[in-house]
């Protein structure tokens, strides 16, 4: 069953050129993005910094406004919601990237986790304390953590606290915005395993946003690859990782290290390397395929015509003229 349905989402920002006038310009952060997430599913969104993936998450959370498009959560139109939106906030929660800045340093952990319980569920006193202790136990932390401050915990423990806070209202969908990128590798694995355990236990759905394809593959059933505000490829996680259908995805994979040096050299020899250049500016995106300026397989049609999504072998699609029989 489809839980989240995003259709033709645009997020554009008007930015002033200076403090004292000088006009303004438009940042086209997200362009014509569409995807669905089923109940109990994890969709991974991956791309370089500046690709627009975190802006998609913020638009779903209503932290930024959609310029155009439709967002439906369990059949309810999100972009039209007004007021306090308490029901919406209960169903959709977020885990931010940095566990050091996402927790209030002046509040003890019990108050941080308990605050939404009071606002949404009216829990107070001993009832709230019992629920906080239960949530801490679910993420592998002792009940006495409730009386301590964020500064007393490691980065991995703080992210567990952030997960407990996200679970407090029993949401149906959690936006995971780079939730492990600030952690060391061993702690990343622990947090990923925790998220998977919680998903199985509570039937959660995740939108998992990251720049590391290896991490996204581990937790996701499907992966969407974003570049300059657009999804260029979407498909089953194993297919996208093992048989990328878009040159950009293929190049991203060359940056994922493997433990075997021989296998690493062989993989790099077979795959093309992403040019060491910056993303084009979202204020003036190129015409045609947004990737054509960096693509080693560019054709004339790529410079003038935006490619449509085309089905690819193994499932999913890629927006690339190489898969267009008429190109």
3-state secondary structure 130-191: HHHHHHHHHCCCCHHHHHCCHHHCCHHHHHHHHHHHHHCCCCCEEEEECCCCCCCHHHHHHH
* 275 has a pLDDT exceeding 60: no
pLDDT at 214: 85
The residue-averaged pLDDT of 89-112 equals: 90
The residue-averaged pLDDT of 14-23 equals: 74
- Taking only the tens place, the pLDDT of each residue in 80-95 is 887 767 788 889 999 9
User: How far, in Å, CA of 249 to CA of 237, rounded?
Assistant: 12
The DSSP element (H or E) to which 32 belongs, if any, is strand 24-38
CATH architecture observed for domain 2-105+172-323:
3-Layer(aba) Sandwich (3.40)
User: How far, in Å, CA of 323 to CA of 166, rounded?
Assistant: 41
pLDDT at 123: 80
Identify which of 25-29, 269-273, 304-308 has the greatest average pLDDT: 304-308
pLDDT at 121: 82
The residue-averaged pLDDT of 230-249 equals: 96
pLDDT band at 260 (very low <50, low <70, confident <90, very high): low
The residue-averaged pLDDT of 132-149 equals: 96
The residue-averaged pLDDT of 179-203 equals: 92
* 274 has a pLDDT exceeding 60: no
User: How far, in Å, CA of 117 to CA of 123, rounded?
Assistant: 6
The residue-averaged pLDDT of 109-121 equals: 88
The residue-averaged pLDDT of 186-192 equals: 92
- Enumerate the β-bridge partners of residue 24: 16
pLDDT at 101: 86
The sign of the dihedral angle between the CA atoms of 3, 317, 255, 238 is positive
- Taking only the tens place, the pLDDT of each residue in 219-229 is 999 999 999 99
Pairing of strands 2-16, 68-73: antiparallel
The residue-averaged pLDDT of 248-259 equals: 79
Residue that wins the pLDDT comparison between 274 and 81: 81
Residue that wins the pLDDT comparison between 274 and 303: 303
Q: Could you give the 3-state DSSP secondary structure of residue 54?
A: helix
The answer to whether the predicted template modeling score (pTM) of the entire model surpasses 0.85 is yes
* 282 has a pLDDT exceeding 60: yes
Pairing of strands 230-236, 310-311: unpaired
Asked whether 114 and 128 are in contact (CB, 8 A), the reply is yes
pLDDT at 120: 82
| Tokens linked to 168 | 């407090």
* 151 has a pLDDT exceeding 90: yes
- For residue 298, the 8-state DSSP code is -
């Amino acid at each position: 069953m489809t839980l989240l349905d995003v259709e033709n989402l645009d997020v554009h920002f008007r930015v002033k050129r200076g403090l004292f006038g000088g006009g303004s310009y438009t940042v086209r952060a997200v362009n014509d993005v569409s995807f669905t997430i089923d109940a109990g599913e994890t969709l991974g969104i991956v791309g370089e910094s500046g690709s627009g993936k975190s802006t998609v998450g913020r638009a779903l959370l209503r932290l930024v406004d959609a310029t155009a498009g439709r967002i439906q959560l369990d059949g309810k139109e999100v972009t039209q919601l007004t007021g306090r939106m308490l029901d919406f906030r209960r169903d959709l929660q977020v885990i931010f990237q940095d566990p050091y800045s996402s927790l209030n340093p002046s509040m003890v952990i019990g108050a941080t986790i308990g605050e939404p319980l009071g606002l949404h569920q009216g829990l107070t006193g001993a009832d709230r304390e019992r629920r906080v202790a239960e949530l801490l136990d679910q993420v592998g932390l002792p009940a006495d953590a409730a009386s301590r401050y964020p500064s007393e915990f490691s980065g991995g423990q703080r992210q567990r606290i952030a997960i407990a806070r996200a679970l407090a209202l029993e949401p149906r969908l959690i936006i995971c915005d780079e939730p492990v990128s600030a952690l060391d590798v061993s702690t990343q694995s622990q947090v990923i395993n925790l998220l998977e355990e919680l998903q199985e236990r509570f039937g959660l759905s995740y939108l998992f946003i990251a720049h590391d394809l290896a991490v996204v593959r581990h937790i996701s059933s499907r992966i969407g690859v974003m570049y300059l505000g657009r999804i260029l490829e979407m498909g089953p996680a194993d297919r996208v990782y093992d048989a990328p259908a878009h040159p950009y995805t293929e190049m991203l994979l060359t940056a994922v290290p493997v433990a075997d040096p021989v296998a690493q050299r062989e993989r790099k020899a077979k795959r093309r390397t992403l040019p060491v250049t910056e993303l084009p500016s979202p204020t003036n995106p190129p015409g045609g395929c947004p990737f054509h300026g960096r693509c080693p397989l560019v054709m004339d049609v790529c410079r003038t015509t935006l490619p449509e999504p085309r089905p690819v072998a193994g499932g999913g699609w890629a927006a690339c003229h190489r898969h267009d029989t008429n190109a």
